[in-house]
Structures are given as C-alpha cells and as structure tokens.
C-alpha cells in the first residue's frame, strides 16, 4: 500500500506536540532477527492501520514516522543526541504509545 501524502507532511502535524523520550528503541522495527520480526508483528497488531515511513535529515539522521490515515494520527521519532530517541505524537490515537504498550506486555 502506498503512503498517502509525504512523510514530512505527516511529521509536521506532530511538530508542535510535546516531545517525550521513548521507552523502547524504534530500532526494533528494523532488526533482521527473529526478535525483530516478532517486534514488528506486535507493532502491527497494536496499530493495524498505521504505515511506517522513514526520512533522512541533512545530517544523515533517520527519522521514523508512524502514520494512520484512517484517524489522522501521526507519531514522529527522532534521535535525541546521546539520549536515545524522542517521540512527538498528534491526532486522536497515540500510535507510539500503543506500540510501546504492546512491547512492554
């Protein structure tokens, strides 16, 4: 399924949201291990209508966006220099919170 719109557009929805540190690294979505597969499976169960989009900054940082076009929700994750990642969320669903809840369970 093609992403509806550009990742940068969806990320702009969360730009003014308060950031918070993530409890689980978004790197789990990219691991090529059995644990990584299970992490992606749980994430998809937690946010079944969400799409994943990756973007790179001019500095080479990878930005991760979870986008749910059915609810208009977005989560933007970015590196927090030396402190893991931060997330900003917008819309009625807190997509990254739902993923972290599934991973914590």
Give the residue, 17 or 11, on which the prediction is more confident: 17
Confidence of residue 2 (pLDDT cuts 50, 70, 90): very low
Which helix (H) or strand (E) covers residue 39, if one does?
helix 34-46
Q: Torsion over CA of 18, 13, 50 and 78, rounded to 10 degrees? A: -50
pTM, to two decimals: 0.82
**What is the CATH topology of the domain spanning 7-104?**
Double Stranded RNA Binding Domain (3.30.160)
Q: What is the pLDDT of residues 21-76, one digit of tens each?
A: 989 888 777 778 888 888 889 999 999 999 888 777 777 677 788 888 888 899 98
d(CA 87, CA 75): 7
Domain ranges of the chain: 7-104
Torsion of CA 103, 24, 12, 41, to 10 degrees: -30
Chain CA centroid to CA 58, Å: 20
């Amino acid at each position: 399924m093609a992403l509806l719109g550009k990742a940068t557009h969806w990320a702009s929805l969360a730009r003014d949201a308060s950031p918070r540190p993530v409890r689980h690294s978004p790197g789990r979505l990219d691991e090529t291990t059995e644990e990584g597969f299970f992490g992606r499976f749980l994430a998809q169960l937690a946010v079944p209508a969400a799409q994943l989009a990756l973007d790179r900054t001019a500095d080479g940082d990878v930005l991760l966006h979870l986008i749910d076009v059915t609810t208009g929700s977005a989560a933007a994750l970015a590196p927090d220099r030396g402190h893991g990642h931060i997330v900003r969320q917008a819309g009625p669903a807190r997509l990254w919170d739902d993923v972290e809840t599934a991973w914590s369970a």
